[in-house]
Amino acid sequence: MTLTNEQTPTLTSAEHIALAEAHSAHNYHPLPVVAASARGAWITDVTGRSYLDCLSAYSAMNFGHANPAILAAAHAQLDRVSLTSRAFSHDQFGPFCAELAALIGKDMVLPMNTGAEAVESAVKVARKWGYQVKGVPDGQATIIVADGNFHGRTTTIVSFSDDPDARADYGPYTPGFRSVPFGDAAALAAAIDETTVAVLLEPVQGEAGIIVPPPDYLRTVRELCTTHNVLFIADEIQSGLARTGNTLACQHFDVVPDMYLLGKALGGGAVPVSAVVADASVLGVLKPGQHGSTFGGNPVACAVGRAVIELLNTGEYQDRARRLGHHLRTGLDSLIGQGVTQVRNLGLWAGVDIDPAFGTGREVCERLLTRGILVKDTHGATIRFAPPLVVESTELDWAVRNLREVLAA
């Protein structure tokens, strides 16, 4: 069946879902809601029903759907120049890189598109740094990662995942990675040797269920990396850019890694924008022709990224995440023993473990959907709450009240 654009708006939700089922790869198992428009913290489906978005596209939508400053930047830039490739420069590129470097507190930015590309880029930079600066013998570089990690979906990245769904049957796998338990500094210390070029961690593990490490862990990792001349790479693709109540989750732990990986919210929910941010002593290993991306650092991405940086520079979203996160945590804690076994959060980013006697995470999400609340389960029994940071505290109360009711039902 071929449909024109004029025909598609008249399809029902069920018809949209059937089309996707028949003609899209089944690599996701989406909840049965078909968005037609969205504003702030709310998504409206093709039937006109509104839902409170408690996922924010996995934190890519931190600043709210249709944020006026972000949309204005995107629209204006589309009308000026949308793509040059990096063969030429454009008037958004230098300012974007300078402003992002200043926000993060490093010298240089390597702009890419998706989060996985930022991770891949960091792996390449760390290896090159290992050979050229640290003096690791050619082909021997190792990178230490954490069990339960999520860094993306490329063949190299899934090679060091321990999630069977993400990894199985995609071999042969890329060598050069060692995985140790997250939060265990002694295990990490024991894994470091003279071939180690980097430690790659999410400061708070997102897909694993908002796993916050012990208070001293990241500081100890920082000290170990400094002592052994190893790069500390923080994947802040989901945790970064205001979600946790600070610009960067690392700030909660008073640590400064050597490389930050940013993505998701950096594109303001409008376009894919990712970046590796580091000092010249690290990113300086890349010379012309040694890495690239046709769309990385494109004019629209840079213009949107600059609007995002401007929003972050106000501190308003970080404040909201801190305040609303505290509010949400109090509400969720009241459900412990009533279908919830544990709550973890940092800022407006919470993992809620559902007592299996009360249903699976998926079932709870489906019941919340019927009440107009969109959330997503992770790893079976955990529900992640990450609403846009423009959400109101009364809306969070309403979501918690509905979670209480679906668990009681």
Of residues 152 and 213, the one with the C-beta less far from ligand PLP? 152
Of residues 192 and 241, the one with the C-beta less far from ligand PLP? 241
Q: Which of 151, 222, 320, 344 binds ligand PLP (CB under 6 A)?
A: 151
Q: Does 152 engage in binding with ligand PLP (CB under 6 A)?
A: yes
Q: What is the DSSP letter of 261?
A: E
- The values of phi and psi at residue 395, to 5°, are -70, -35
Q: Does 120 engage in binding with ligand PLP (CB under 6 A)?
A: no
> Contact region for ligand PLP (CB under 6 A) — 112-120, 244-252, 370-378, 387-395?
112-120
Long-range contacts, stretch 357-364, CB < 8 angstroms, 24+ apart: 358/407, 359/407, 364/403, 364/406, 364/407
Is the dihedral angle over the CA atoms 115, 121, 123, 125 positive or is it negative? negative
Check if 138 is active-site.
no
Q: Does 206 engage in binding with ligand PLP (CB under 6 A)?
A: yes
Of residues 157 and 307, the one with the C-beta less far from ligand PLP? 157
- # of chain residues touching ligand PLP (CB under 6 A): 15
Of residues 240 and 339, the one with the C-beta less far from ligand PLP? 240
Q: Does 115 engage in binding with ligand PLP (CB under 6 A)?
A: yes
Check if 264 is active-site.
yes
Cα 350 from Cα 328, distance rounded (Å): 8
Q: Does 177 engage in binding with ligand PLP (CB under 6 A)?
A: no
Catalytic residue, chosen from 106, 182, 264, 295, is: 264
Provide the CA 239 distance to its chain's centre, in angstroms: 6
Q: Does 119 engage in binding with ligand PLP (CB under 6 A)?
A: yes
Q: Does 297 engage in binding with ligand PLP (CB under 6 A)?
A: no
Cα 156 from Cα 127, distance rounded (Å): 13
Of residues 129 and 260, the one with the C-beta less far from ligand PLP? 260
Q: Does 51 engage in binding with ligand PLP (CB under 6 A)?
A: no
Check if 107 is active-site.
no
Q: Does 295 engage in binding with ligand PLP (CB under 6 A)?
A: no
Q: Which of 235, 258, 377, 395 binds ligand PLP (CB under 6 A)?
A: 235
Element (H, E) at 309: helix 299-313
Minimum distance, C-beta of residue 38 to ligand PLP, in the bound complex (Å): 19
Of residues 59 and 318, the one with the C-beta less far from ligand PLP? 59
Strand pairing class (142-146; 196-201):
parallel
Q: Does 199 engage in binding with ligand PLP (CB under 6 A)?
A: no
- The values of phi and psi at residue 207, to 5°, are -60, -30
* Backbone φ/ψ region at 107: left (φ over 0), alpha (ψ -120 to 50), beta: alpha
Minimum distance, C-beta of residue 139 to ligand PLP, in the bound complex (Å): 26
Two structure tokens written together for 42: 């709310």
Q: What is the DSSP letter of 236?
A: -
Q: Are 13 and 33 in contact (CB under 8 A)?
A: yes
Q: Which residues of 43-55 are buried (b: 16+ CB within 10 A; e: fewer)?
A: bbbbeeeebbbbb
- The values of phi and psi at residue 104, to 5°, are -90, -20
Q: Are 183 and 132 in contact (CB under 8 A)?
A: no
Minimum distance, C-beta of residue 330 to ligand PLP, in the bound complex (Å): 26
- Amino acid letter for position 74: A
Q: Does 58 engage in binding with ligand PLP (CB under 6 A)?
A: yes
Q: Which of 116, 259, 278, 311 binds ligand PLP (CB under 6 A)?
A: 116
Of residues 192 and 237, the one with the C-beta less far from ligand PLP? 237
- The values of phi and psi at residue 142, to 5°, are -120, 150
> Contact region for ligand PLP (CB under 6 A) — 85-93, 115-123, 327-335, 383-391?
115-123
Token pair 């990712």 is at which residue? 274
Cα 333 from Cα 386, distance rounded (Å): 16
Cα 302 from Cα 266, distance rounded (Å): 10
Catalytic residue, chosen from 63, 96, 150, 182, is: 150
Q: Does 55 engage in binding with ligand PLP (CB under 6 A)?
A: no
Is the dihedral angle over the CA atoms 248, 393, 364, 57 positive or is it negative? negative
Of residues 96 and 150, the one with the C-beta less far from ligand PLP? 150
Q: Does 263 engage in binding with ligand PLP (CB under 6 A)?
A: yes
> Contact region for ligand PLP (CB under 6 A) — 68-76, 145-153, 287-295, 370-378?
145-153
Contact residues toward ligand PLP (CB under 6 A) are 58, 114-116, 119, 150-152, 202, 206, 235, 237-238, 263-264
Active-site residues: which are they? 150, 235, 264
